[in-house]
Chains A and B, each alone.
Chain A
């Protein structure tokens, strides 16, 4: 039975989607409670968009059980989507229409009356600092404005769950920070967010839990801090590749070294280890930093070893 007051917003058990022999998503479990913000990380083709498709009923899962607000998207997509806001990867705005016309259409799709729609659109445009663009044609908007407008569109029907599919890809830092602030505001009102991203920093800022997917399977999950502490504890020194030879004899067995582009990274339990190492080889690290989610991501998806997709 559907129940919007229940705490479980998404409950996925063993959700699997196969296309022929290829498993786009395999045995996916997720429990998302009211007020949570969970991030899905993973390389392109890891299964993130497949999962989002399953959630709003455009992808029909091959196996597993899936409930959103206690309803199955295979049979009750319409009722689920009444309380769902989605920012898809592509903006998919009607380029020839004005901002106001476009939003009025979507307000109608979401079941808002004309009067409610007017107020709601005005509020949200102001909220996203777009009120001065109300009469502008979509194609005259900048990329950042279009993205903000897709947020307005997703929020029109006052959703309980907001799904963001790579919300800030290709945006400048100012817009990115603005959108993050809006996601935080949305969460402060007690509602729930699911976000996919390629930006680890974004995941750390927005999410209280992370699920890392690779080739359709979950390879890691937990709170960002917890994941870092478990998978890649300590500090990372980034050295130029030329220093690799000089570094090797000084590395302890408990440390890890891995290539990253033109650089060699050394991860040690303590910052002092790296400082000592710098002195020993007489080379300054390009960067000394605490291990972060990107290190976890690269380790768990096997990209740390320089493997390609």
Chain B
């Protein structure tokens, strides 16, 4: 053939560009919920509860919550975009029916969604981090530099969960069930709101969730006090979870978009 055949990464990047072009059209509406949630939580729980909670390992409750707010943004942005967002693109807007007639294939669609999720959450994690910094909630200000990387990595297993949900639900209302029975538990029991150390059962079960490990990494970046082994353990779990869930999601979406 005469033309150069484009590489998978180039085509996956096309999917990122497409999502960005559509996203920026409605930028404020798209970005505000995922940023408003952590802001509200910080006000309601951080400021509201702080006087009652006292200190946790020498931190005010607002300081304790701070890294979790980055995690919250990543969780909701990743899950909602790859569940409701992807599902609408797939089912109601038929975006892929046209896209898959171009050199883009299903693999590139899925890879593009992961890249898009990682880039978007990295930026959002950075923005939330800067706000926390201004509010004086980061004992280690350099944490701001680590947030985008941790956020981007954490988004991959979470986007994979959203994509799997998109492939498995029979209608759009079933995402609510996924939210209630999967996303809400991994959120509330992740160590964002209270230290898991005092609750061995919850702590053990929470280890299954990649989100817990992302929260831990964000807390370590914010507070320090961690051994290299601990950091490598959480990073390792996130990388493995990204690969396993990512490949699983790719397979299910592939079955969904091809016959």
Contact = CB atoms under 8 A, between A and B. Distances in A.
A78 B21 contact: no
A94 B88 CA distance: 12
A101 interface: yes
Nearest to B3: A82
A88 interface: yes
B259 A19 contact: yes
Given A60-B258, A60-B259, A105-B21, A82 B95 contact: no
Given A88-B97, A108-B17, A96 B1 contact: no
B104 interface: yes
A267 interface: no
B102 interface: yes
Nearest to A19: B259
Contact of B93 (A19, A83, A88, A95): A95
Contacts of B98: 86, 88, 91-93, 106, 150, 153
Interface in A56-112: 56-60, 69, 77-79, 81-86, 88, 90-97, 101, 105-106, 108-111
B257 A58 contact: yes
A4 interface: yes
A96 B25 contact: yes
Contacts of A17: 259
B258 A56 contact: no
Interface residues of A, number: 42
Contact of A82 (B1, B26, B100, B257): B1
B22 interface: yes
A140 interface: no
Contacts of A78: 5-6, 11, 103, 105
A88 to B, nearest CB: 5
A53 B101 CA distance: 9
Nearest to A156: B102
Contacts of B2: 4
Contacts of A58: 100, 106, 257-259
Contacts of B257: 58
A153 B95 CA distance: 13
A7 interface: no
A138 to B, nearest CB: 11
A2 interface: yes
B105 A77 contact: yes
8 contacts: A53-B259, A78-B5, A78-B11, A88-B94, A90-B97, A92-B94, A111-B103, A154-B101
Interface of B: 1-6, 11, 14, 17-18, 21-22, 25-26, 93-95, 97-106, 257-259
Shortest Cβ-Cβ A-B pairs, 4 listed: A86-B101, A92-B98, A109-B102, A92-B94
Given A78-B5, A88-B98, 10 more contacts: A56-B100, A60-B258, A78-B105, A83-B3, A84-B101, A92-B98, A109-B11, A110-B103, A150-B98, A154-B101
